[in-house]
Structure 1
Amino acid sequence: MKKSILFALLLTLSFAIGCKKEKKENTPEETKTEEKVVETVNEEVKKIKIKLEPKSDSNVSGNAVFTETEGKVTMVAVFDGLTPGTHAIHLHEKADCSSADGKSTGGHWNPTSEPHGKWGDAKGYHKGDIGNMEADANGNATITFSTDQWCIGCGDSNKEIIGKAIIVHQGVDDFTTQPTGDAGGRVSCGGIIE
């Protein structure tokens, strides 16, 4: 009789623990956590790497990486062969670096027909008006730029950077002279092509 009671007690305890575990496995909090993990794992990351070549008899070359995540594009570009000091960098209309002076890329990329200016200025700016970067005493420069006003492969003509070019200029962008910022010659070029 003691064995029967002990067996019944163990069976009841096992059943209660099993039900408690089953209930815990189906709590809404854990289900939400699992959904977040799935969303993060499935997040799409788009990336384009390009090389920039010297133009206008310069020695300026470089590399740039464009990465899009969560609706924002980040550009990280590294250059060498620059003269020490400040240099303008812009996105231009066409990914055509075929001319010796880089002018085959056309003007600044400006799909919204704004005046040239400093990025984010209320007076207006081109979507290609990245700004200026500093080259050190050895002619090396690095720039990082992020925006939600660009996209990679989205097809929106006001945001799409594929088919554009990066141009590094000899001089400084003054952010006021129209339509170029008086930045001088084009010393390096790279087409943004998939």
Structure 2
Amino acid sequence: MTRTIRRRMVYISIPAISGTFHIETPIGTEIVPLFHATNPVKKRLYEGEKSKMQSNRVNVFTSFISGGAMKKYIVAPMLAFVLFGTQCVLAQKGNMSHEKSMVKRAIAVVTPTKGNSVRGTVSFEAGDKGLRVIANLTGLTPGHHGFHVHEFGDISSEDGSSAGGHFNPTGMPHSMPMSDKRHAGDMGNIDADAEGNVHLDYIDPVMKLNGPNSIIGHAVIIHSKEDDFKTQPTGNAGPRVAQGVIGIAK
């Protein structure tokens, strides 16, 4: 006489990004996701005595087993695949969101302080080797002029003083742009031609558009005199002849 043994089954519905997966597994099977394989939180499925589900479907309760003798467990392939795949999709979406939030370009529209006529733009573009700085300005007197990012994006004062001192989040001494010990805002000098025009294009190794030391929201200040790179903390560059707040660009 042949005896047939029927094991009662439990049906599990698992929501996922691409739909809902259904798993049929014997009652008592312990399911451990792959990402808990090194330190599994054991989950035991068991049948509730007062189940009101139709057919042989049952309520599924999850209990966390701590302490006691460790029992052998199995990894349900479909569950592991679904959970792992879902994690991958979420991680990919997180990376994409992070990339979209990264600032790649910024610009300051420069306007004159009282009694001056300097105007133009200073743009910043993030690159692999540093921050590309492009300045196009008019209305300067011929010669060298100190050129810095200052602490505050406040250009409400007529003389530019509301922008504060040089942007210096790391507490370094004032120096030249290519020094590894300098203010983050030390961009050196710009050189105006005989007509008072400036075109500058260089790579700055220190300034950032992203992170805690981002220059976004700070101010570009242009001075009346040359920065000597020695006098602390200003470079003795004289009064401020132009100012502009650095904002995110398209």
Q: Name the TM-score, length of structure 2 as normaliser.
A: 0.56
Q: Secondary structure at the match of 2:247?
A: coil
Equivalent residues of 2:150, 2:167 under 8 A apart: yes
Q: Secondary structure at the match of 1:192?
A: strand
The yes-or-no answer on 1:139 pairing with 2:193 is no
Equivalent residues of 1:117, 1:126 under 8 A apart: yes
Distance of aligned partners of 1:119 and 1:104 in 2 relative to their CA distance in 1, 3 Å threshold: same
For structure 1, which runs of at least 5 residues remain unmatched after alignment?
1-41
Q: For residue 155 of structure 1, what is the amino acid of its counterpart?
A: G
Aligned-residue offset at 1:193: 1.9
Equivalent residues of 2:153, 2:219 under 8 A apart: yes
Distance 1:148 1:181 in 2: 20
Aligned match of 2:246 = 192
Aligned-residue offset at 1:171: 0.2
Equivalent residues of 1:45, 1:69 under 8 A apart: no
Counterparts of residues 80-95 of structure 1 (less than 5 Å)? 80-95=138-153
Q: Secondary structure at the match of 2:186?
A: coil
The yes-or-no answer on 1:171 pairing with 2:229 is no
Equivalent residues of 2:123, 2:134 under 8 A apart: yes
Q: How many residues align?
A: 149
Q: Which one has the bigger strand percentage? A: 2
Please point out which of 66, 69, 92 is paired with 2:127.
69
Q: Which one has the bigger helix percentage? A: 1
Aligned-residue offset at 1:72: 2.5
Distance 1:94 1:188 in 2: 14
Task: Identify which range, 56-65 or 177-186, moves more after superposition.
Answer: 56-65
Aligned-residue offset at 1:71: 6.2
Equivalent residues of 1:174, 1:183 under 8 A apart: yes
Please point out which of 64, 79, 95 is paired with 2:137.
79
Distance 2:161 2:247 in 1: 18
Distance 1:69 1:121 in 2: 19
Aligned match of 1:60 = 118
Equivalent residues of 2:106, 2:216 under 8 A apart: no
Q: For residue 144 of structure 2, what is the amino acid of its counterpart?
A: T
Q: For residue 173 of structure 1, what is the amino acid of its counterpart?
A: D
Answer with 1 or 2: which has the greater Rg: 2
Distance of aligned partners of 1:45 and 1:127 in 2 relative to their CA distance in 1, 3 Å threshold: closer
Query: Alignment RMSD, CA only?
Result: 2.0
Distance 2:245 2:197 in 1: 21
Which 4+ residue blocks in structure 1 deviate beyond 6 angstroms?
Answer: 42-45
Please point out which of 213, 216, 223 is paired with 1:162.
216
Q: For residue 83 of structure 1, what is the amino acid of its counterpart?
A: T
Distance 1:54 1:77 in 2: 15
Distance 1:56 1:182 in 2: 20
Aligned-residue offset at 1:147: 2.6
Distance 2:179 2:208 in 1: 20
Aligned-residue offset at 1:112: 1.0
The yes-or-no answer on 1:99 pairing with 2:153 is no
Equivalent residues of 2:108, 2:219 under 8 A apart: no
Q: Deviations over 1:39-81 (max 9, x none)?
A: xxx9987112331000141001111211113363211011100
Equivalent residues of 2:110, 2:242 under 8 A apart: yes
Q: Deviations over 1:74-122 (max 9, x none)?
A: 1101110001111110010011111100111110011111111112336
Identity between Structure 1 and Structure 2 (%): 41
